[in-house]
Amino acid sequence: MKLLGNNPAFCFINNEWVPGCSAQRVPVINPSNGEVLCEIARGTADDIDIAVMAAQAALEGDWGRASAAERGRVLHNIGAIILDHAEELAELEAHDVGKPLKQARADVVALARYMEFYAGAADKVHGATIPYLNGYTVYTMREPHGVTGHIIPWNYPMQIIGRSVGAALAMGNAAVLKPAEEACLTALAFGELARLAGLPKGALNIVPGFGAEAGNALAQHPLVRHVSFTGSVDVGKLIQESTAHHVVPLTLELGGKSPQLVFEDADIDVALPFLVNAGIQNAGQTCSASSRILVQRQIYDQIVEAMTQMYTDLRVGPAMDDLDLGPVISKRQKEIVEGYLDRGRDLNLVAKGQVSASAPEGGSYVAPVLFADVPPDHVLAQEEIFGPVQVVIPFDDETEALAIANGTQFGLVASVWSRDGARQMRLAKKLRAGQVFLNNYGAGGGVELPFGGTGLSGHGREKGFEALYGFSSLKTVAALHGS
Ligand code: ADP
């Protein structure tokens, strides 16, 4: 933990490390062994207020005066310094979140890519001129909202900081970040690296702590002009209520029950690794995980058999052992997943992976589980489990596949496996999802690709250029100068 010193129990405000107002701390547990990794500050509403005021001051200071090109240059420098510290960040994330080292390394690269993408995009968001009445010139321009609030979860701290804080800073907002209490060390390290890379003071402020305290205070703060939230549906609804109070725009990314539709003409060899990896990546704790595999009956037995074999070979162990899966984030999360497995006792459990002998007793390990022949309306085929559990569901034809695919309250990601181009196009139109993949699946991937959902999956889009529109507001200027 070189980057954070021996004690990361501070808030990052105005480019300085300050103790939280309450002086209370929250222990951070290493999910690989159940031991206390360190303590973080228990940020309060007062800390949030100080952070928001620092962000507001930054907008009126150096950061607010920076040109779009200058903002881009700083983001570029942050991307470079992240890559310089890649291994340290990856190890920090692996210890904190429990994800296998190779996944943590991939997350570091993604974080750097977000910085690079938004660095390049910062000065390329143009307005338009609009033909209007004679004697007028009308044009539009994009302006930052002001102070933006970012409440993020523990599953992909680095990636979510990249897509949310990166886009907000590119557009000239000043950000206040509330990382998750379960895993926030790379968020804090990001603050330090941003400072070293030359980000002006106050442009980014980080207050760790509990959701109901620091998170709630951030969502309700009257000077926060946009909130970006990634997390559970229940908390998303609370945030929507909080922001409604000040009529503040909001991006909600709340998860899903994303299906992959596998037709009898699919290239099965290409499909299989995608089918499984999209379910077990990050131990299934991925908003865009594919937890439902819909398979046409002609190839159903073949797919179930192949997936069974793949599941039986999966190994779960400590993050630093770098196996297929790490532990889930906490004992509580393990209990939630096991609760679902219990509700699936009546189902056909066809395969289970193995927890490695090297996994310490105190870790929160869950062996990945595959169920077949699952009725589409079963709770395991309807609710987001957020653990390494996939269900396989048979279908007869395209109409039935579509009805099953669209038959949950979520709508985040879907994929179609078929060589029939017309079918791909039909389904891409009709699937209820923010992203549709044709003959591939991109759980969490794609810095350049707009991402977000419908229904209980949330609203608004992050990633790609689309995020830059979300993190800015459009002003129309109409000048009457006469002909
Ligand atoms: P999970 O159940 O997966 O931990 P949550 O939705 O509870 O996901 O948490 C996601 C983020 O939201 C975390 O940073 C958490 O601290 C924060 N959070 C939790 N409850 C609230 C709340 N009432 N108001 C604002 N933020 C919250």
Residue 1 has pLDDT above 70, yes or no: no
Catalytic, 287? Answer yes
Residue 443 corresponds to which tokens in the numbers above?
């759980």
- Whether 98 is covered by a domain: the verdict is yes
Residue type, 118: Y
Range name among 6-15, 364-373, 463-472 with the lowest pLDDT average:
6-15
99-125 pLDDT, tens digit each: 999 999 999 999 999 999 999 999 999
Shared domain check, 231 and 266: no
- Write the CATH number for 226: 3.40.605.10
Q: What is the pLDDT of residue 9?
A: 84
Q: Which residue has the tokens 């307005």?
A: 127
For the Cβ of 231 lying below 6 angstroms from any atom of ligand 1, the answer is yes
Catalytic, 253? Answer yes
Instruction: Report how many domains make up the chain.
Output: 2
Q: Indicate the SS3 state at residue 408.
A: coil
Instruction: Give 206's pLDDT tier (boundaries 50, 70, 90).
Output: very high
For the Cβ of 235 lying below 6 angstroms from any atom of ligand 1, the answer is yes
Counting Cβ atoms within 10 Å, is residue 109 exposed (0-12), middle (13-18) or buried (19+)? middle
Alpha-carbon distance values, 348 to 118, 179, 274, 284, 451 (Å): 46, 38, 22, 20, 33
Beta-bridged to residue 370, according to DSSP, are: 351, 390
Residue 2 has pLDDT above 80, yes or no: no
Q: What b/e readout covers 258-286, taking b as 16+ CB neighbours within 10 angstroms?
A: bbbbbbbebebeebbebbbebbbbbbbbb
234-292 pLDDT, tens digit each: 999 999 999 999 999 999 999 999 999 999 999 999 999 999 999 999 999 999 999 99
Shared domain check, 273 and 141: no
8-state DSSP, 207: -
Residue 406 corresponds to which tokens in the numbers above?
């669209």
- Write the CATH number for 366: 3.40.309.10
Nearest CA to ligand 1 atom 24: 216
8-state DSSP, 321: G
Alpha helices in 123-267 (DSSP H): 157-170, 185-196, 216-220, 233-245
Shared domain check, 179 and 278: no
- Whether 42 is covered by a domain: the verdict is yes
Residue percentage of the chain with pLDDT more than 70: 99
Are 20 and 11 in contact by the 8 Å Cβ rule? The answer is yes
Return the closest-CA partner of residue 254 out of 410, 408, 413. 410
Residue 338 corresponds to which tokens in the numbers above?
């096991």
Q: Which domain holds residue 18?
A: 10-254+459-476
- Whether 2 is covered by a domain: the verdict is no
Give the mutation target among 151, 234, 282, 328 for probing the ligand 1 site: most ligand atoms within 8 A of CB: 151
Inter-residue long-range contacts of 79-87, CB under 8 Å, 24+ positions, other chains counted: 79/112, 79/113, 79/114, 79/115, 79/116, 79/119, 80/112, 80/197, 81/193, 81/196, 81/197, 82/108, 82/111, 82/112, 82/115, 82/190, 82/193, 83/108, 83/109, 83/112, 85/3, 85/189, 85/193, 86/112
Shared domain check, 434 and 339: yes
Shared domain check, 267 and 245: no
Across the range 176-195, mean pLDDT stands at 97
Catalytic residue (one of 11, 181, 287, 398)? 287
Inter-residue long-range contacts of 431-438, CB under 8 Å, 24+ positions, other chains counted: 431/402, 431/405, 431/406, 432/405, 432/406, 433/258, 434/461, 435/288, 437/413
Q: What is the pLDDT of residue 3?
A: 75
305-319 pLDDT, tens digit each: 999 999 999 999 999
Residue 81 has pLDDT above 80, yes or no: yes
Across the range 455-471, mean pLDDT stands at 97
- Whether 1 is covered by a domain: the verdict is no
- Whether 451 is covered by a domain: the verdict is no
The total number of residues shown for the chain amounts to 483
Q: What is the 36 CA–ligand 1 centroid distance (Å)?
A: 21
What's the mean pLDDT when you consider all of the chain? 97
Shared domain check, 193 and 102: yes
Shared domain check, 243 and 178: yes
168-184 pLDDT, tens digit each: 999 999 999 999 999 99
- What span, in angstroms and rounded, lies between the C-alpha atoms of 161 and 140? 29
Residue 205 corresponds to which tokens in the numbers above?
């402020």
Q: What is the 153 CA–ligand 1 centroid distance (Å)?
A: 7
- Whether 436 is covered by a domain: the verdict is yes
Instruction: Give 38's pLDDT tier (boundaries 50, 70, 90).
Output: very high
Q: Which H or E run includes 266?
A: none
E runs forming strands in 215-335: 224-230, 250-253, 258-262, 290-296, 315-316
Q: What is the 151 CA–ligand 1 centroid distance (Å)?
A: 7
Are 318 and 33 in contact by the 8 Å Cβ rule? The answer is yes
- Whether 36 is covered by a domain: the verdict is yes
Residue 6 has pLDDT above 90, yes or no: no
- What span, in angstroms and rounded, lies between the C-alpha atoms of 404 and 376? 6
Shared domain check, 209 and 147: yes
For the Cβ of 180 lying below 6 angstroms from any atom of ligand 1, the answer is yes
E runs forming strands in 231-359: 250-253, 258-262, 290-296, 315-316, 348-352, 354-355
Shared domain check, 371 and 405: yes
Instruction: Give 444's pLDDT tier (boundaries 50, 70, 90).
Output: low
Alpha-carbon distance values, 434 to 168, 189, 220, 372, 461 (Å): 21, 31, 28, 26, 9
Q: What is the 232 CA–ligand 1 centroid distance (Å)?
A: 7
* Strands 16-18, 11-13: pairing kind: antiparallel
For the Cβ of 434 lying below 6 angstroms from any atom of ligand 1, the answer is no
Shared domain check, 41 and 144: yes
Shared domain check, 215 and 343: no
- Whether 4 is covered by a domain: the verdict is no
Are 402 and 430 in contact by the 8 Å Cβ rule? The answer is yes
For the Cβ of 149 lying below 6 angstroms from any atom of ligand 1, the answer is no
- Atom of ligand 1 lying closest to residue 386 CA: 3
Shared domain check, 270 and 411: yes
Catalytic residue (one of 253, 384, 398, 462)? 253
